[in-house]
DNA sequence: CATGAATGAGGCTTCATTCAT
DNA sequence: GATGAATGAAGCCTCATTCAT
């Protein structure tokens, strides 16, 4: 690291930020860290960024826009809900593996943004999730999917993507295509199988019996 | 809040910490914040805690131990893999809804711990995940489950639990039991459905074609 | 300097600030300077002040309130405009000599305040000046004063006070009482003298002939 | 503003500096501000100035030299002290209104200069003030003026000029000639009237009774 | 001449922690 | 137990200045 000068400083800062925000979090990352990684003095960063938070925001908004663009492109030409859902899931998971760090940052650092910027990101995120959910609902409407909770199903897709972004590594035992395909399989199996095997257990009473913390006031990440 | 004095100060600090770590994150939470919430001056906190990090650690380890205990209790008496998996999932999801804040903290603040303490938490977490995974593998071995990727299936359970902890609210439209049951349904269908629905799409080439950030060095949360 | 500890730290900070703001100006004064003068580390200042600007503001508003109170007290019992004006001038000049540093800061650092706080100070200042001007105008109305420009006369009083605050020293050749009395004499002569001495010279054309900078947009200090 | 390129850049910088030093003060003015106003990037300023402080110094010394030259020219041909004093005052006030910003800077930013440059400016200022004071003293010696404190009288002239430079605006209700003439009137009335009407009030004891800050160490502006 | 980028010094402020009272 | 005050480390950011292009 610490290669001297060059016009690529801005990009190096961005990469260093992605790495460190992913690894240590936004709050725990100092501009000193980034400057050191890039091989520049702290003050010099400001020739390329306007503030630490703006740097975070630009990473988050870019990755979300790319994710949306990827989904739009992937869905082109597909019409059957089952096919569209598989495509969407594969695209979602693949993207979350491929751009893991940025996507992870996007999911975990919303609370580090000031309200205005946070609202922008939330809007992008909600638009994306809404699109996925619409596919699920269309499959339900057409009778192709049996699973009765489209909101929870959509959440499952989102949750799995987020989780993938936290552990996927290109040099791991499964390729990006394998992970994406396997999770598409899992979720489509769940959507298509009409029978619930095994009756509910009775663990809920036990869990609720414990004394619990008071009710959450708000989600931490919007 | 801000209840004065009394022997419950320590508990009030703990609750304030859970709320604030959940809402703003550990790094963004100030001891001044907690003191203010409890109605005490900063210095007084040290009559009840030994350090900020120790406070985090105790929250994280307690919730993980409780989760483990809950699972152990719930599984008592069940033997068939299908039944055991349903019980485990319901227990997992219910706990993640019930103790959402603490569990969310446990999943997101690993990186805020110093290595020694982090190792302790990771061990607890891994033991728990291993236990869930074992159930999945037993179902596979016994031929009850068709889904071929036990590791990914386990991850899916974990991922959905984490996600639930970020949005579940006791006053929401779904009860804790409904959420737990619905997700158990979803995951059990996936495990039992013998057929793979819909052929893979071909989105992967497109996703990989984009220029990607360099390979991750390490997971953010150990 | 640098006396250790003690409950008088807050007052020592205030005194150090008055000295340094007077001597070097607010912008040129660093908190390091003040801390050094007080014998404390920089961060410790924040146990006593909430911000540098608030420190400035409190000095400015206090001295203005004291000035106003002094004038009110001094005018009690006097009714004739000539007497009232003499009392006001003596009080004004004496206060500006006595509290020279603070008053000097009050006159020169308005522009260092953020708009809200600046507005507060300006209001105090304007109320005071208005009161002085009213005395001048009453003398004019009653026929005691001949000088025809009450606004300019009031300005002269203000200007002389400000100037005094920049040079008066208690160990100088003139006592506080002598300065106050001498300036009261000067200004009362000007007000009472019915004749205009000496015809105007004709220097104005020459001055205006020079190329001048463009018109001011706003006074620097409100 | 922001006129592009050309050989007038140096002059534009000077004007921007005069405006901003007047409005916000030297310390609070950024080279970035000036560059922005001129329509140039920061680094480019150094093709026209050698340093920020040198820019301040050149503004201050120029205006003082111009003031001196104006006074010399104005006094040519006048011999009687009363006439000479009126001419000097009118010239002084007119110049302070006409070149208000620069003259204001000259009076308020002495402390922003390093010792060597400050000494130069102080010398120019003292020479000028000495010349005015000499006129007052000659009038006293010749018996034309009655006011017994030539130093304070000179200070009054200076103070009023400084004050005028802080509020005079060419589009105000009084013309430059009117202000200059009115203040010459005021001061000459004060110098010629032998009687002090109204006995001193007794406010001084009250003012001194207040607790006061410690004695000033040095004037803020030399 | 103008520019973009680098630099070093420094500015204000926050924070976890300690400790005498 | 609670408090106010002190501390040192560190954080983000700004600025005048330099210099290669």
- Does B51 have pLDDT greater than 80? yes
pLDDT of residue C46: 97
Alpha-carbon separation of residue A128 from A64, A116, A156, C7, D84 (angstroms): 8, 19, 14, 59, 84
Proximity of residue C48 CB to strand E below 7 A: no
Proximity of residue B112 CB to strand E below 7 A: no
Find chain A residues with C-beta within 8 A of B163's C-beta: 155-156, 158-159, 162
Do D212 and C152 make contact, defined as CB atoms within 8 angstroms? no
Q: Do chains B and A touch (3 or more CB pairs under 8 A)?
A: yes
**Using CA atoms, how far apart are residues D90 and A145, in angstroms rounded to an integer?**
95
Interface test with A, best of B190, B200, B202, B221 (most A CBs within 10 A): B190
Separation of A11 CA and F17 C1' (Å): 26
- The per-residue pLDDT for range C87-127, each reduced to its tens digit, is 999 999 999 999 999 999 999 999 999 999 999 999 999 99
Identify the burial level of B218 via C-beta atoms within 10 angstroms of its C-beta, where 0-12 means exposed, 13-18 middle and 19 or more buried.
exposed
Q: Where are the alpha helices (DSSP H) in chain D?
A: 9-24, 31-38, 52-75, 81-98, 100-108, 115-141, 150-167, 176-192, 203-209
Q: Mean of the per-residue pLDDT values for chain D?
A: 88
**Using CA atoms, how far apart are residues A107 and A105, in angstroms rounded to an integer?**
5
Neighbours of B210 (CB within 10 A): 12
**Using CA atoms, how far apart are residues B125 and B61, in angstroms rounded to an integer?**
9
> How does DSSP classify residue A219?
-
- Does B15 have pLDDT greater than 50? yes
Cα A53 to chain centroid distance, Å, stands at: 19
Nearest to C87 by CA among C99, C70, C100: C70
Smallest CA–CA distance, residue B43 to chain A, in Å, is 24
- Does B148 have pLDDT greater than 90? yes
For nucleotide F10, the protein residue with its alpha carbon nearest to C1' is A30
Query: Percentage of chain D with pLDDT > 70?
Result: 84
**Using CA atoms, how far apart are residues A196 and A190, in angstroms rounded to an integer?**
10
Separation of A30 CA and F18 C1' (Å): 27
Strand F: positions under 7 A of a protein C-beta atom: 1-20
Neighbours of D41 (CB within 10 A): 10
Higher confidence at residue C74 or residue C6? C74
- Does D42 have pLDDT greater than 50? yes
Q: Mean of the per-residue pLDDT values for chain B?
A: 90
Identify the burial level of A148 via C-beta atoms within 10 angstroms of its C-beta, where 0-12 means exposed, 13-18 middle and 19 or more buried.
exposed
Find chain C residues with C-beta within 8 A of D201's C-beta: 74, 78, 83, 86-87, 90-91
pLDDT of residue D133: 96
Interface test with C, best of D73, D198, D208, D209 (most C CBs within 10 A): D198
Query: Percentage of chain D with pLDDT > 90?
Result: 79
Residues 6+ apart with CB under 8 A from C90: C74, C180, C181, C184, D200, D201, D203, D204
pLDDT of residue B189: 93
Query: For the range B134-142, what are the long-range contacts, defined as Cβ-Cβ under 8 Å and sequence gap of 24 or more?
Result: B135/B81, B135/B84, B135/B85, B135/B88, B136/B85, B136/B191, B138/B81, B138/B84, B139/B81, B139/B82, B139/B85, B139/B191, B142/B81
> How does DSSP classify residue D28?
T
Nearest to D53 by CA among D113, D102, D10: D113
- The per-residue pLDDT for range C127-165, each reduced to its tens digit, is 999 999 999 999 999 999 999 999 999 999 999 999 999
Q: Looking at the partner chain, which of D24, D186, D215 has a beta carbon nearest the beta carbon of C156?
A: D186
Separation of B22 CA and E11 C1' (Å): 34
- Does C48 have pLDDT greater than 80? yes
Residue C170, by phi and psi: left (phi above 0), alpha (psi -120 to 50) or beta? alpha
Query: Which residue do the tokens 């001084």 mark?
Result: D204
Residues in chain A: 222
Interface test with C, best of D159, D188, D218 (most C CBs within 10 A): D159
pLDDT of residue A24: 97
Identify the burial level of C196 via C-beta atoms within 10 angstroms of its C-beta, where 0-12 means exposed, 13-18 middle and 19 or more buried.
middle
Query: Residue B199: pLDDT band by 50, 70, 90 thresholds?
Result: confident
Smallest CA–CA distance, residue D142 to chain C, in Å, is 16
Can you read off the two tokens belonging to residue D89?
């005052």
Proximity of residue A5 CB to strand F below 7 A: no
pLDDT of residue C211: 42
- The per-residue pLDDT for range D76-99, each reduced to its tens digit, is 989 999 999 999 999 999 999 999
pLDDT of residue B194: 86
**Using CA atoms, how far apart are residues C106 and D139, in angstroms rounded to an integer?**
36
Separation of C106 CA and F18 C1' (Å): 38
pLDDT of residue B198: 72
- Does C212 have pLDDT greater than 90? no
Q: What are phi and psi of C213, to 5 degrees?
A: -65, 165
Interface test with D, best of C14, C187, C197, C208 (most D CBs within 10 A): C197
Average pLDDT estimate for D142-154: 91
CA-based radius of gyration for chain A? 21
Q: Mean of the per-residue pLDDT values for chain C?
A: 89
Q: Which nucleotide is nearest to A48 (CA to C1')?
A: E5
- Does B222 have pLDDT greater than 90? no
- Does C74 have pLDDT greater than 70? yes
- Specify the range with the lowest mean pLDDT, choosing from A183-197, B55-69, B85-99, D153-167: A183-197
Alpha-carbon separation of residue D40 from B176, B212, D128 (angstroms): 63, 38, 37
Separation of B30 CA and E11 C1' (Å): 23
Nearest to B165 by CA among B107, B124, B118: B107
Smallest CA–CA distance, residue B47 to chain A, in Å, is 23
pLDDT of residue C209: 63
Q: Which nucleotide is nearest to B54 (CA to C1')?
A: E16
Find chain B residues with C-beta within 8 A of A180's C-beta: 203-204
Nearest to D108 by CA among C34, C112, C92, C19: C112
Residues 23-52/A with CB < 7 A to strand E: 40-44, 46-48
Q: Looking at the partner chain, which of C18, C159, C203 has a beta carbon nearest the beta carbon of D213?
A: C18
> Which partners does chain D have (≥3 C-beta pairs < 8 Å)?
C
Separation of B27 CA and E4 C1' (Å): 35
- Which stretches of chain A drop beneath a pLDDT of 50? 1-5, 211-219, 221-222
Proximity of residue D42 CB to strand E below 7 A: yes
């Amino acid at each position: 690291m610490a290669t001297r000068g060059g016009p690529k400083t801005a990009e190096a800062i961005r990469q260093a930020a992605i790495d460190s925000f992913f690894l240590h979090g936004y709050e725990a990352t100092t501009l000193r860290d980034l400057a050191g990684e890039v091989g520049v003095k702290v003050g010099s960063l400001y020739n390329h960024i306007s503030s630490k938070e703006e740097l975070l925001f630009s990473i988050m908004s870019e990755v979300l826009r790319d994710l949306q663009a990827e989904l739009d492109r992937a869905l082109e030409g597909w019409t059957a809900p089952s096919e569209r859902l598989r495509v969407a899931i594969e695209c979602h998971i693949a993207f979350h593996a491929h751009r893991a760090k940025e996507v992870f940052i996007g999911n975990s650092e919303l609370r580090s943004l000031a309200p205005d910027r946070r609202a922008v990101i939330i809007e992008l995120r909600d638009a994306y999730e809404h699109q996925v959910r619409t596919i699920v609902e269309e499959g339900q409407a057409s009778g192709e999917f049996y699973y009765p909770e489209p909101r929870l199903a959509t959440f499952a897709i989102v949750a799995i993507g987020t989780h993938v972004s936290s552990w996927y590594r290109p040099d791991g035992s499964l390729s990006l295509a394998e992970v994406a395909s396997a999770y598409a399989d899992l979720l489509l199996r769940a959507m298509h199988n009409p029978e619930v095997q095994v009756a509910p257990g009775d663990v809920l009473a036990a869990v609720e019996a414990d004394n619990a913390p008071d009710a959450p006031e708000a989600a931490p990440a919007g």
